[in-house]
A and B are shown apart, each in its own frame.
Chain A
């Protein structure tokens, strides 16, 4: 493999990995504060993308479509938390799993009724033709935009969580809800804020994933959800940095594997990575070994 190919494949992998990382980050944000793994994250993001698609059809502006999709993502997060997840008994992990799967199915069914199962093309904001430097093709403007926007969102979240008062309250509610409540933090509201933030991040992931060649259909983001889950598990489900690194690593790995074997085995590769991580380092690559219980 030529060095130029390697550079292109890596860049392409990083761009796709940024998408998985944003889905993974959304899963991690909700997992950390509620111990719920949101299997409906992909379907919620997809619903936002459909809102964006309708906006684009109506206005013809990609930027307005993206803004509408992100706003829809925020509203969906708010609704999912206040209308459904708030009533889930946190002591029964099974209930949360089944309810989020129910939400996934419900949203896919509703999207199917509203838009049908056929694929639709969702426009990209930038060109997908790769830029060449000398004789080497490196990265397309759309991929650059993908990586850039995910990086900006990550940086914004980092600042939010570490430098602001709201971020401190969010972290306090996630790690010690009882103590936080005693110290005057409105933990319930913080949980909702967490759901809204996570859904916006996932909607961004969906907006970047759909134009990258998978097309818009009610099951379009099933794959992205699984890759996001895999990325989050690589990072240990509890670590935002782990989700980021896991997502990008997975993206590069899949980019290389599709260069060698074509894109068909991608789901098998991601399943193999997931099982390998769970067998060898069940806590993920970014956590220390858990305390023995017995």
Chain B
């Protein structure tokens, strides 16, 4: 009997290299987002840029936690590493023009944090259970001590100022400073997403997931689980470093106070809120943690409290909410917003198909 095989319908994804499959739609989406910033107020544009900087770190953390099952509290510290590296490099290269200084600064941020993450990962990422969280907690608390001891380089509590880099030539006339910053931040978020999407869909990502689900079986299959965890931590640290570099570039300065435990907890909240291991979730979470404190402070301003009380509430209410979110989301909806949206989507599709069947039969 002849077997006729219908010629497989060629999807466009079959004709481009696999690593570009996500690049093209993502690039179009981000370009559209950038064009949309033309309609935003400058402050909202700046918030979007900040969310992109945090997204770099949150995405790295989310892949680390979601795919290898390791929690790091040190991503705030790794962002500090990136921020300081970017600041020092940009101060060095400010005379060479905006683009060389910026690119070298962000590269330095990524590289330094990658090396720091690798060293830290060698020590801690192989460990089971809550050890990595504990070690990275100790790390993040040690940051102020490091910048104080090397005070000559890092200027202690005051931190470093980044040189003012003017908007470079091709776009200088047409784009305001905060839109140019947003362009840089979106580009970095794009690179991070591309790296993480492709890694997590490759054999590396499979090894991470396998090691998370059953370390013993994965080792028996010939994967060095410990080494894969170190790789995951290193990649994740590089992303955090880039995020720190972008954040420093946006704020024009780095100081130890900005990179404390509170920042690490913010990143953790963004990750948990969006859904562990999901990059879409990381993006949603990053936007929410940038928007929430701002929204709260406007709301609190409307409560007409005494100034001292208002300051206390404004400074600490986000923290209390982050804590509550961490507890409630982990206990009630461990897949975060993306999980809830997926469930809502399935429920909608389900009810539509049931309704159709109902009318047909």
List the interface of chain A (C-beta within 8 A of B). 35, 37, 39, 84, 87-88, 92-99, 101-113, 116-117, 218-219, 222-223, 225-226, 229-230, 233, 264-268, 270-271, 274-275, 278-279, 282, 293-294
Contact = CB atoms under 8 A, between A and B. Distances in A.
B131 interface: yes
Nearest to B272: A98
Nearest to A276: B123
B71 interface: yes
Contacts, number: 157
B316 A112 contact: yes
Contacts of B71: 94, 97-98, 101
A266 B84 CA distance: 22
Given A116-B312, A279-B123, A102 B323 contact: yes
Contact of A278 (B135, B320, B322): B135
Contact of A226 (B137, B268, B269, B313): B137
Interface in B199-219: 215-216, 219
A104 to B, nearest CB: 7
Given A105-B319, A109-B321, A113-B316, A275 B124 contact: yes
Interface of B: 65, 69, 71, 73, 123-124, 127-131, 133-135, 137-139, 141-142, 144-146, 148-149, 215-216, 219-220, 261, 265, 268-269, 272, 276, 308, 312-313, 315-327, 330-331, 334
A200 to B, nearest CB: 22
Nearest to B276: A94
Contacts of A94: 65, 69, 71, 276
B150 to A, nearest CB: 11
Given A37-B134, A279-B123, A294-B216, A112 B142 contact: no
Contacts of A95: 330-331, 334
25 contacts: A37-B130, A37-B134, A93-B128, A98-B71, A98-B326, A99-B327, A101-B73, A101-B133, A102-B323, A102-B324, A103-B327, A104-B323, A105-B269, A105-B320, A105-B322, A109-B319, A110-B316, A112-B320, A116-B308, A117-B312, A222-B141, A268-B142, A270-B142, A271-B138, A293-B219
B130 A97 contact: yes
Contacts of B324: 102, 106
Contacts of B73: 101
Contacts of B131: 233, 278, 282
A79 B334 CA distance: 22
Contacts of B319: 105-106, 108-109, 112
Given A95-B331, A106-B323, A108-B323, 12 more contacts: A98-B326, A101-B326, A105-B320, A109-B323, A112-B312, A219-B261, A223-B141, A233-B131, A271-B135, A275-B123, A293-B215, A293-B219
Given A94-B69, A106-B320, A229-B137, A278 B127 contact: yes
Contacts of A103: 323, 327
A219 to B, nearest CB: 8
B224 to A, nearest CB: 11
A110 B145 contact: no
Contact of B134 (A105, A223, A229): A229
Dominant secondary structure of chain A at its interface with chain B:
helix
Nearest to B120: A275
Contacts of A110: 316, 320
B138 A105 contact: no
Nearest to B70: A94
A173 B218 CA distance: 32
A84 B323 CA distance: 12
Enumerate the 5 nearest inter-chain pairs by beta-carbon distance, A residue then B residue, closest first. A106-B323, A102-B326, A109-B320, A112-B316, A109-B319
A109 B146 contact: no
Given A97-B130, A98-B268, A106-B324, A113 B317 contact: yes
